[in-house]
Amino acid sequence: KNEVEQSPQNLTAQEGEFITINCSYSVGISALHWLQQHPGGGIVSLFMLSSGKKKHGRLIATINIQEKHSSLHITASHPRDSAVYICAVEETSGSRLTFGEGTQLTVNP
Amino acid sequence: GAVVSQHPSRVICKSGTSVKIECRSLDFQATTMFWYRQFPKQSLMLMATSNEGSKATYEQGVEKDKFLINHASLTLSTLTVTSAHPEDSSFYICSVSGDSTDTQYFGPGTRLTVL
């Protein structure tokens, strides 16, 4: 069993739909990261959070430390949101990141 | 956030040759740099962590004599893949942070193909 699990693995949506990607982890963490990997491979850090909720534009990330669960929401999805979204946790024992396997999101026009 | 560049973005080499990949932090004092490897359709795997001026700490299963890491300054780290083999073909990504508890900023990655 992976320490970080994401669901779903693949997600196809129509433009404008509200999207949720989930991340569950089994270790103690000091922070959780949501990353976006574009088709060319480049990675962008979307959020780093250790509690509560953060919002940036159409993206919202939440975390529940007690339940060891985080969600990434995209409102009014757009084809340019198509990418792989990766959840990564920073363990309390250090800065090392442990990555989920990613969620491939495709938003169709 | 920090701007991180990698060079080259793509490299193709023959088996047995060595390849150097540079990771530069353009506007950020990167006391810690991380090197990751990503095989197709797999998640990123940490290879090593380096602190400026110190020897890198390698993850289990990563050969330190094969993957040479140099972090000589706060803005530059290099990863040299020595005697590359086709199984070393992968996407190599670096990230930087200001200290061991800071967020990480990722480079755009280098795609290595070994023929």
Reported as a single tens digit per residue, the pLDDT across B45-77 is 889 998 888 889 999 899 999 999 998 888 999
Residue of B nearest to A30 (CA): B101
> Is the predicted pLDDT of residue A65 greater than 90, yes or no?
yes
Contacts of B104 in chain A (CB under 8 A): 33, 45, 95, 97
> Is the predicted pLDDT of residue B106 greater than 90, yes or no?
no
Reported as a single tens digit per residue, the pLDDT across B1-57 is 678 999 999 999 999 999 999 999 988 888 889 999 988 878 888 899 988 888 899
Residue with tokens 């850090």: A45
For the segment A72-98, the average pLDDT, to the nearest whole number, is 88
List A residues 20-59 in contact with B (Cβ-Cβ < 8 A): 30-31, 33, 35, 40-45, 48
pLDDT band for position A28 (cuts 50, 70, 90): confident
pLDDT of residue B51: 85
pLDDT of residue A92: 72
pLDDT of residue B44: 85
- Extract the tokens encoding B14: 């023959």
For the segment A65-69, the average pLDDT, to the nearest whole number, is 95
For the segment A32-59, the average pLDDT, to the nearest whole number, is 89
In the three-class reduction of DSSP (H, G, I as helix; E, B as strand; rest coil), residue A41 is classed as: coil
List B residues 28-57 in contact with A (Cβ-Cβ < 8 A): 32, 34, 38, 42-46, 49
pLDDT of residue A20: 98
pLDDT of residue B86: 96
User: Within 10 Å of residue B27's Cβ, how many Cβ atoms?
Assistant: 9
In the three-class reduction of DSSP (H, G, I as helix; E, B as strand; rest coil), residue B24 is classed as: strand
> Is the predicted pLDDT of residue A36 greater than 70, yes or no?
yes
Distances (CA, A) of A28 to A4, A51, A91, A92, B10: 11, 13, 6, 6, 37
Substitution target in A23, A37, A43 with the highest count of B β-carbons within 10 Å is A43
pLDDT of residue A57: 96
Residue of B nearest to A47 (CA): B103
pLDDT of residue A69: 97
Dist CA B110 CA A95 (whole Å): 23
